[in-house]
Amino acid sequence: MPAGSVTASVQPKREVRAAMGRSHAIPRAPSTGPLADDTGCPILHVDMDAFFASVEIRRHPELAGLPVIVGGSRTRGVVCSATYEARRYGVHSAMSTARAVRLCPPAVVLPTDHEAYSAASAEVMELLGEITPVVEPISMDEAFLDVSGARRLLGSSGEIARLIRSRVRRELRLPCSVGVAPTKFVAKVASARCKPDGMCVVPAGGVVDYLHPLPVTALWGVGPRTAEQLRCIGITTIADLAHSPAPRLVGAVGSAAGTHLHELAWGRDPRRVLPLAPEVSIGAEETLGTDLFDRAAIDRELLRLADRTAARLRAGGRRGRAVSLKVRFADFTTITRAHTMDAASDVGQQLYQVARDLYDRLDRTGSPARGGGVRLLGIRVEGIVGAGDLPEQLVLGDRSHGWRDADQAVDAVVSRFGSGAVAPAALLRAAAVPNSAPAPPPRTGPDAVR
Ligand code: DCP
Ligand code: MG
């Protein structure tokens, strides 16, 4: 799958950690398969395993299976992420790298490359967006999904969790863990407990039994200070908290926190999954593997980008009216042209037609670099509206309806089998005809969304 296109404005990891407890404080438990009763479990929490380190291993496969630490150098800096092989030596995030290396002398230490992790994060979020539009990213490497609506198409929650894990592994070559539960908080606890590379379904009827033996630090909102306040009144497990009289709790941690924690201790958490606010624009762009000169190859690339942009619009239940085309030539001259359509669209063919027309006009206008090849192409759609906000425009003989049906059929296949499973015939023909060079793989390529 190409680099993805959600640049979610997500909370920094550290704030999230303070708000949600620390995963290394939660005892691990064996993974369960998707077979547990998941009928009352619409919420999934997906968390990438050793995220920064896994991204490094993806591009340096020779490091697989080794203790790898990301963050600083052997003598300075702080551990951001460590593989589970390194954690066996007692290494964990936020520890000084010098100390980590003393604990784990064979560790391979790598500096951080935030650009690479952001691009990988966008890939993850894009894949999750193909499962359901109801995705709430809460940090670079984790998100909640509400799969209530996706179950009809993709199977039960447990099956969807298994699908996500296999797609992330196969298409992104990264490991992740997934918790499946009736509520956000329990799903979050479950994903932390089945790490690494696991999944866990907590059936609606089993939530209390699942939570009660755990330490209070597993609770969303209980950091070291609150844990200490609770310990002072003899509360160390979630069961202690659940059975503690309310006035006692309120006396120790205050009224709001006391009531909230008591609710959580009984598995009650009404927070809904809140998808990201609608983006201002949605688009896709790619720096091409080699500069393109041939118009047919450029059109194929435009079709690919238009399809990807339209799929993203549909995944978010949105359409857009203004299409802009960005072309960067070999000498880095960059030209952008825009056109506003009569009606908002989420159909790949329509976006493609507009982009192609814009490219035609671009040729006529001329460019100082016209003799050179095309280095980068991008399509962006603005003037975004929710598809549900629009009356369906029934125009007799309007071919776009046929295209939309086709696109929707493709979405169903892609959400199940991945984005490589289907492609427009023009792109397939390009791959099959030996003399027509298929568009090369991207040289770089995070799709950009503002
Ligand atoms: N991160 C960071 N500084 C921290 C904690 C985390 O920069 N103090 C970054 C690096 C992590 C990423 O955020 O790779 C995700 O954080 P997690 O807590 O999810 O940690 P990992 O993904 O590394 O490990 P795991 O989720 O398997 O426990
Ligand atoms: Mg993680």
How high is the pLDDT of residue 200? 95
Angle, CA of 72, 74 and 77, to the nearest 5°? 30
Q: Is 23 in the pocket of ligand 1 (CB under 6 A)?
A: yes
The residue nearest atom 2 of ligand 1, judged by CA position, is 80
The residue nearest atom 23 of ligand 1, judged by CA position, is 50
Average pLDDT over residues 400-413: 70
Q: Is 13 in the pocket of ligand 1 (CB under 6 A)?
A: yes
Give the E-state strand segments of 244-373 in sequence order.
282-292, 318-329, 334-345
Q: Ligand 1, closest atom to CA 47?
A: 26
> What pLDDT band is residue 13 in, cutting at 50, 70 and 90?
very low
Q: Is 93 in the pocket of ligand 1 (CB under 6 A)?
A: yes
Q: Ligand 1, closest atom to CA 24?
A: 28
- Between the CA of 53 and the centroid of ligand 1 the distance, in Å, is 9
Decide if 301 is catalytic. no
Lowest mean pLDDT among 25-39, 100-114, 302-316, 393-407: 393-407
Ligand nearest the Cα atom of residue 194:
1
User: pLDDT, tens digit, for every residue of 45-82?
Assistant: 999 999 999 999 999 999 999 999 999 889 888 899 99
Let me know: does 325 contact 361? Beta carbons within 8 Å: no
- Between the CA of 66 and the centroid of ligand 1 the distance, in Å, is 18
Let me know: does 166 contact 38? Beta carbons within 8 Å: no
Ligand nearest the Cα atom of residue 93:
1
The Cα–Cα gap between 141 and 69 comes to 17
Q: Is 350 in the pocket of ligand 1 (CB under 6 A)?
A: no
How high is the pLDDT of residue 234? 94
With b for 16 or more beta-carbon neighbours within 10 A and e for fewer, the 192-231 pattern comes to bbbbbebbbbbbeebbeebbbebbbbbbbebbeebbebbe
- Between the CA of 167 and the centroid of ligand 2 the distance, in Å, is 17
The residue nearest atom 7 of ligand 1, judged by CA position, is 80
Which candidate in 130, 136, 142, 279 is catalytic? Answer: 142
Share the mean pLDDT of the chain: 82
The residue nearest atom 20 of ligand 1, judged by CA position, is 50
Mutate to test the pocket of ligand 1, among 10, 22, 45, 51 (most ligand atoms within 8 A of CB): 51
Nearest Cα neighbor of 41 from 202, 267, 200, 271 is 202
What does CATH list as the number for 282-432?
A: 3.30.1490.100
User: pLDDT, tens digit, for every residue of 91-127?
Assistant: 999 899 999 999 999 999 999 998 899 889 989 999 9
User: pLDDT, tens digit, for every residue of 203-241?
Assistant: 999 999 999 999 999 987 788 889 999 999 999 999 999
How high is the pLDDT of residue 394? 36
- Between the CA of 388 and the centroid of ligand 1 the distance, in Å, is 37
- Between the CA of 163 and the centroid of ligand 2 the distance, in Å, is 19
User: pLDDT, tens digit, for every residue of 261-311?
Assistant: 999 999 999 889 988 766 678 899 888 888 999 999 999 999 999 999 998
Q: Ligand 1, closest atom to CA 52?
A: 14
Distance in angstroms between the alpha carbons of the first and the last residue of the chain = 21
> What pLDDT band is residue 377 in, cutting at 50, 70 and 90?
very high
CA 149, distance to chain mean position in Å, is 18
